[in-house]
Amino acid sequence: MIFIMDKISITGRYLNMINREDMLELTRRMTLSRTSFTRIAGCYVDCNGEFDGSFNVNFLKLSSVERSRNLSIAKTIPFSETNVELKKYSFSKTGGQAAAMHQLLTAIKECGLKNDALLDTFYDLMIEQYRSDREYAVLFFHDRYDIPVKAADKERLWESEEVFEYLICAVCPLVGEYEPGTPECGFLFPAFTDRSAEPDHIAVYDPLRRHPELLQILGI
């Protein structure tokens, strides 16, 4: 019986592992010449934990300097050390907060960040529960990646196999006036596994494990 339980436990851990190559495939596209990010949205929170404004713009309308800076922020999440700094979690299927958050994030993704009411709902949850003693920003990036088919020899073909639509959320301390710094935590939703979307899973970034409340906010 003990052997069977250990085998199940090992299998469970394996199934929740993130493949580093999947993450590198995403990050290789996060350059000025290759990015397909559609929008960026976010809010600012002051040192007292109060809402201090928001924005929502077409990513390609940013200046090249702003695009480069924000690509660096977004890239931090998937480029981090997989299964150590970036870990995959599943959403509970039994209802409750996890189901509500999954529904909210799915709706935010499917509208391409164009529904400010949905974003405000998420910001309110973050501001209410996120613990910080300094000003910070909550940033959302939206992307649609046409995943190319790969031949048996792993060479890329031109045809698109699947469109991976996803969000990156980065929570960043401010290092200047409304200037986000390096993310302290965040997530990639949905998870990207075996070059395909895994809708019921999310990859969470918390490298220093300073924000366990993020898991609580997400309901996982």
DSSP per position, 27-77: HTT-STTT--EEEEEEEEE-TTS-EEEEEEEEGGGS-HHHHHHHHHHHHHH
- Alpha-carbon torsion (94, 125, 189, 84), positive or negative: negative
Per-residue pLDDT of the chain (220 residues; tens, 9 = 90+): 333 333 333 333 345 899 999 999 999 999 999 999 999 999 999 999 999 999 999 999 999 999 999 999 999 999 999 999 999 999 977 778 899 999 999 999 999 999 999 999 999 999 999 999 999 999 999 999 999 887 555 555 556 678 999 999 999 999 999 999 999 999 999 999 999 999 999 999 999 999 999 999 999 8
Q: Is residue 5 part of a domain?
A: no
Q: Is residue 127 part of a domain?
A: yes
How many distinct structural domains can be found in the chain? 1
Q: Is residue 10 part of a domain?
A: no
Q: Which domain holds residue 123?
A: 18-218
The angle formed by the CA atoms of residues 69, 60 and 33, to the nearest 5 degrees, is: 70
Q: Is residue 43 part of a domain?
A: yes
Q: Is residue 86 part of a domain?
A: yes
Q: Is residue 199 part of a domain?
A: yes
pTM of the model: 0.89
Q: Is residue 6 part of a domain?
A: no
CA–CA distance, 147 with 169 (Å, rounded to integer): 21
Q: Is residue 143 part of a domain?
A: yes
